[in-house]
């Protein structure tokens, strides 16, 4: 691992290693064991898109590893405005030991990796959300004890989260079924890669328009907000398009009896998910949210140690 830009950057063995390290770091953190694995290291955290979970999980995570996080909002730096991305990458590489960036265009992340000399971690772009996808699968593994021979159903927008789930599940041998309106299907190129990986791992990929069809016999049910950050102008249009794509009791009832519910948060109860589902016994969304920090700690150790 040089960078984490998308899950395409990882081999299956590397994901297994990340999960083993995540488990160790999480368990020992609960026992009060200190991890000074990144003492003296600094992580620059560039935010063009704000986030509760991403900022806190990375900032606390690097602190728990003995390093420090430097918060850089888009108002604080000249990234892509008064200074080229290539120059910014070269300058920050002289100050920092790693960069996490949460932004809009995926090309910005690629340029940082191309021109910098330190590890770059994609904290989210409009195309991919690899830290979230890895966290999701770690959470499934934690609750199910395995990943292969399981089915994950994602209901909602074919967005960056859906893209990373497609790549992560098929890389690890999980079946994935996505239910989304025809106009909001995942990117065709990402879908093609996922199908190729599924053929190699023996898993299956399905994209349908019927949520109940997708949810049949699912071990994991997952959804996300209908209008992500940057899609606010389409809020009402999307509300109409996704009105039949809510995860509710009817959807949960066609899944496996012991299915778990995931959501990357923030959630809008009454829209993409009902309150009784996200606050119910099958929901593990807060375990999932906590695991963002532990998975990202493992990523930082692998890249920056």
Catalytic residue among 64, 238, 263, 264: 264
Element (H, E) at 72: strand 68-73
- Known catalytic residue at 213: no
Query: And the tokens for 61?
Result: 């995570």
- Known catalytic residue at 132: yes
Total residue length of the chain = 305
Cis peptide, bond prior to residue 266, ω within 30 of zero: yes
Catalytic residue among 157, 224, 238, 296: 224
Query: And the tokens for 99?
Result: 């960069």
Q: Which residues partner with 155 through β-bridges?
A: 179, 223
């900022």: which residue's tokens?
A: 55
Catalytic residue among 3, 129, 238, 263: 129
* Cβ neighbours, 10 Å, residue 22: 24
Catalytic residue among 3, 53, 238, 292: 292
Rounded Cα distance between 199 and 7, Å, is 17
* Cβ neighbours, 10 Å, residue 305: 10
Catalytic residue among 132, 246, 288, 296: 132
Cis peptide, bond prior to residue 100, ω within 30 of zero: no
- Known catalytic residue at 224: yes
Rounded Cα distance between 180 and 160, Å, is 14
DSSP-assigned states of every residue in 17-45: HHHHHHHHHHHHHHTT----TTTT-EEEE
Asked if residues 99 and 43 have their Cβ atoms less than 8 Å apart, the reply is yes
Pairing type for strands 151-155 and 42-47 reads unpaired
- Known catalytic residue at 129: yes
Query: And the tokens for 182?
Result: 């025809």
Catalytic residue among 3, 102, 163, 263: 102
Which residues does the annotation mark as catalytic? 102, 129, 132, 224, 264, 292
């Amino acid at each position: 691992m040089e960078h984490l830009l998308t899950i395409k950057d990882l081999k299956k063995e590397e994901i297994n290693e990340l999960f083993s390290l995540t488990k160790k770091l999480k368990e020992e953190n609960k026992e009060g064991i200190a991890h000074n694995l990144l003492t003296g290291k600094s992580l620059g955290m560039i935010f063009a898109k704000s986030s509760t979970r991403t900022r806190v999980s990375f900032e606390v995570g690097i602190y728990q590893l003995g390093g420090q996080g430097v918060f850089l909002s888009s108002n604080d730096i000249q990234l892509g405005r008064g200074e080229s991305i290539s120059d910014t990458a070269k300058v920050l590489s002289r100050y920092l030991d790693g960069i996490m960036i949460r932004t809009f265009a995926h090309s910005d992340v690629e340029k940082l990796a191309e021109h910098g000399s330190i590890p770059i971690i994609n904290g989210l772009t409009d195309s991919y959300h690899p830290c979230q996808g890895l966290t999701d699968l770690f959470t499934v593994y934690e609750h199910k004890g395995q990943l292969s021979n399981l089915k994950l159903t994602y209901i909602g927008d074919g967005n960056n989260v859906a893209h990373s789930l497609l790549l992560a599940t098929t890389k690890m041998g999980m079946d994935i079924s996505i239910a989304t309106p025809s106009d909001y299907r995942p990117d065709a190129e990402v879908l093609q890669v996922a199908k190729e990986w599924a053929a190699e791992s023996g898993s299956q990929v399905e994209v349908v328009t019927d949520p109940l069809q997708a949810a049949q016999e699912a071990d994991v049910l997952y959804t996300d907000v209908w209008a992500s950050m940057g899609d606010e102008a389409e809020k009402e249009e999307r509300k109409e398009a996704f009105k039949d794509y809510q995860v509710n009791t009817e959807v949960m009832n066609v899944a496996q009896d012991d299915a778990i519910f995931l959501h990357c948060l923030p959630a809008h109860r009454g829209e993409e998910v009902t309150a009784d589902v996200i606050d119910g016994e099958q929901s593990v969304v807060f375990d999932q949210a906590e695991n963002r920090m532990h998975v990202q700690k493992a990523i930082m150790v692998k890249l920056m140690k």
